[in-house]
Amino acid sequence: MKVMQTDCLVIGGGFAGSAYALYAARAGLKVALLSLGGPLEANSDWAQGGIIYDTSPDPELLSRDILEASDGTANPAAVRQLVTEGPVAVRELLLDELDVEFDREEDGQLQLTREGGHSARRIIHARDRTGHAILSAVANRVASTAGIQRHTGAVAIDLLTLSHNNENPEDRYAPLTCFGAYALLEGSSEPVAIVAKKTVLACGGLGQIFQHSTNHPGIVGHGVAMAYRVGARLIDLEYVQFHPTVFYGKNAPRFLITEALRGEGAVLVNVDGKPFMDKVHQRGSLAPRDIVSRAIHDEMATSGEPCVYLDLTGLDRTRLPDRFPTVYQSCLNHGVDITREPIPVVPAAHYSCGGVHTDLEGRSNIRHLGAIGETACTGLHGANRLASTSLLECLTGAKFTARADARDIDSMDFRLPGPRAWQSPPEEADPTLVYQDLNLVQQTMWNYAGIVRSPRRLTRARRILLELREEIQSFYRDCRVTRELVELRNAVQTALLVVHAASLNPHSKGAHYIIDE
Ligand code: SIN
């Protein structure tokens, strides 16, 4: 087995992972950066709305909005870090250094929009392609930075720990310590071991364990599942946020319809064209996401219709193609001209508020294993995330974690062991079974552990998933490892973890809504 060695192994090449790589390399560390697809194939690239840039004299207002969206459950220390350090990081890296092309007013000032749960306009954006504008700028800088070795098309299989993957018997009794990961690199069917002083999980969320999701294909909680298998502390996994507005068409794929449209005046209406959010919350269509998603769910259940609509009559429709080109073109491709008609929408799984528990410098409970971005949970979002905090969290998390790692690695007395060799079984996995099993995970999660949960539904989900996990484990033992198999194994594990967390929490709060049926 081939063994590679580096200072930091970053698993995930979205905004969090790429920004971390940049900060760490600049601090003198050697970085291996693995991404599932190309440099832009990540959830961050699909982020439409924007990133908070709050330079108002009273940051308390933003703190209050984050806490209110979280239903009072967010971690105040994490909120404080984001609110005070976020604007500094945006200015330094995105504005001053990379000069990301955010939209500006005629006088050159940054244009500000708002989204659900925000009491003020404080979100900067690059039309409705904010994530793409940011990630391309960062990925370009990564490509020209010495010290970063990028591996595209790479999937991490399992984390290496002293107790699990090392021949030295004494290490079995040492504190849990991570020293890298096994991975499948592009073009090879034989796993390699990447041995590292620090391993950082930046694998994004878990939206694709649900049948309907805004996430990139393959985003099934890789970080959470790998961390779980080596004993990391996971937290808040029941809080899966559903985005209220995803395009609905009978034979069309689901894609995000940015909340910024509602920030600019779009209103949710039912099939009769009647607004229904004003009776639910004082902010109407701009209420926090959990509340809007549930209201849509209820409206659909009452009307028996497969969707509700986003009415755009309050906006200057002639400006829509220019301000929201992604939404405009994607809807047009599926027969809806948003300059003339409302958009049919439904909710879909969007963001995991929980994840691998870390401190504010990305450290997990396992030595030398960190997590950042959506994979991590500092408690910033509590039970429900405020819109446009995620890109900002990626940035501040990356900066603070890389800075701490540069310090920690410098003073680290750590002997990197040789890992156990990987044993490859000869059999090939049957792709039809792999595909069907993933479908079953996704349907089970959508139907029994989605927007509205109940103890009975969760019990049903658990039973199905436990049986499925048995099947998949035996597959995994007997077959040659492939990306699809890794994905399936992690999907079923993550799904079980979400169901388990949801079953243990009988209290409806934020994105976790449980009825007694
Ligand atoms: C959106 O544009 O509605 C998504 C932004 C986010 O999830 O913060």
CA torsion, ordered 173, 178, 182, 186, to nearest 10 deg: 180
Question: Taking a C-beta distance cutoff of 8 angstroms, is the pair 227, 364 a contact?
Answer: yes
| Spatial contact of 514 and 245, defined as CB atoms under 8 Å apart | no
Q: How far is the CA of 388 from the centre of ligand 1 (A)?
A: 6
Phi, psi of 62 (to 5 degrees): -65, -45
Question: What is the per-residue pLDDT for 171?
Answer: 81
Contacts of 439 (CB under 8 A, 6+ apart): 211
Q: Which two tokens stand for residue 187?
A: 């073009």
Bridge partners for 512 per DSSP: 509
Of all protein residues, the one whose alpha carbon is nearest to atom 8 of ligand 1 is 388
State how far the alpha carbon of 415 is from the alpha carbons of 20, 182, 195, in Å.
Answer: 24, 18, 11
Write down the pLDDT at residue 454: 98
C-beta 130 within 6 A of ligand 1? no
Ligand 1 center–CA 264 separation, angstroms? 14
**DSSP track, 222-264:** HHHHHHHHTT--EE-TT-EEEEEEEE--TTSPP-B--THHHHT
Residue to substitute in 388, 391, 392 for testing ligand 1 pocket (most ligand atoms within 8 angstroms of CB): 388
pLDDT of residue 57: 85
pLDDT at 418: 82
**For position 216, what pLDDT does the model report?**
94
CATH architecture for segment(s) 431-504: Up-down Bundle (1.20)
Query: Is the shortest distance between the CB of 215 and ligand 1 below 6 Å?
Result: no
Question: Which atom number of ligand 1 is nearest to the Cα of residue 388?
Answer: 8
**Which atom of ligand 1 sits closest to the CA of residue 257?**
3
The Cα–Cα gap between 171 and 173 comes to: 5
Radius of gyration in angstroms for the set of CA atoms belonging to the chain, rounded to a whole number: 22
What's domain 3-238+353-411's architecture?
A: 3-Layer(bba) Sandwich (3.50)
Residue 280 Cβ inside 6 Å of ligand 1? The answer reads no
CA pair distance 134, 148, nearest whole angstrom: 19
Fold assignment, 246-347: Flavocytochrome C3; Chain A, domain 1 (3.90.700)
Beta carbon of 49 within 6 Å of any ligand 1 atom:
yes
Tokens of 268: 């949710």
Q: Which of 51, 254, 330, 390 to mutate to test the pocket of ligand 1 (most atoms within 8 A of CB)?
A: 390
Residues whose CB is less than 8 angstroms from the CB of residue 417 and which lie 6 or more positions away in sequence, other chains included? 162, 166, 167, 168, 171, 179, 195
CA angle 180, 186, 189 (to 5 degrees): 85
Nearest atom of ligand 1 to the alpha carbon of 390: 8
Q: Closest Cα to residue 7, out of 416, 395, 418, 420?
A: 416
Q: Which tokens in the block code for residue 108? A: 């050159």
What's the pTM? 0.96
Query: Which residues have a catalytic role annotated?
Result: 289
Atom of ligand 1 nearest to the CA of 115: 3
259 lines ligand 1 (CB under 6 A): yes
Q: How far apart are CA 142 and CA 351, in angstroms?
A: 26
Evaluate: CB of 388 within 6 angstroms of ligand 1: yes
Burial (0-12, 13-18, 19+ Cβ within 10 Å), 251: exposed
Q: Given this model, what pLDDT does residue 229 score?
A: 97
- What pLDDT is attached to residue 166? 80
List, for the chain, all residue ranges whose pLDDT scores fall below the cut of 50: none
CA atoms of 119 and 190, how far apart (whole Å): 52
Distance in angstroms (rounded) separating the CA atoms of residues 515 and 517 = 6
Contact 20, 404 (CB under 8 A): no
* pLDDT for res 172: 80
349 lines ligand 1 (CB under 6 A): no
Give distance in angstroms: CA of 49 to centre of ligand 1.
5
Q: Of 44, 70, 259, 385, which is best to mutate to test ligand 1, by the most ligand atoms within 8 angstroms of its C-beta?
A: 259
pLDDT value, residue 411: 79
Angle value at C-alpha 96, between 119 and 403, nearest 5 degrees: 85
The domain ranges of the chain are 3-238+353-411, 246-347, 431-504
Query: Half-sphere exposure of 48 toward its Cβ, with a 13 Å CA cutoff?
Result: 24
What the block records as the tokens of 195 is 């041995």
- Give the integer Cα–Cα distance in Å for 71 and 185: 42
Any ligand 1 atom below 6 A from CB of 390: yes
Ligand 1 contact via 128 beta carbon (within 6 Å): no
